[in-house]
């Protein structure tokens, strides 16, 4: 039970983060999104969701050496394609 409460606190902290970094490992890996009518990378919908929640989002292909200014870091590793 304690572990579950701890996990909920961590998840709620991430969900209410104000400054977030999205690291896109492979921006060449694109997928076609029919709803947008365009190709998107792996971090597109994560970024859009965080922006809609009012968070500040930085995204890029380089992880800064100092992550202390970020409340959460999302590492997008690409998509599995056959």
Q: How confident is the model at residue 40 (pLDDT cuts 50, 70, 90)?
A: confident
pLDDT at residue 55 greater than cutoff 80: yes
pLDDT at residue 44 greater than cutoff 70: yes
Question: pTM of the full predicted structure?
Answer: 0.68
Length of the chain measured in residues: 82
């Amino acid at each position: 039970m304690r572990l579950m409460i701890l996990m909920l606190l961590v998840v709620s902290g991430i969900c209410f983060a104000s400054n977030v970094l999205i690291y896109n490992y492979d921006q060449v890996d694109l997928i076609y999104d029919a709803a947008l009518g365009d190709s998107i990378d792996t971090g597109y919908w994560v970024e859009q969701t965080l922006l809609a929640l009012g968070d500040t989002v930085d995204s890029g292909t380089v992880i800064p050496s100092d992550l202390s200014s970020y409340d959460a870091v999302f590492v997008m590793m690409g998509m599995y394609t056959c």
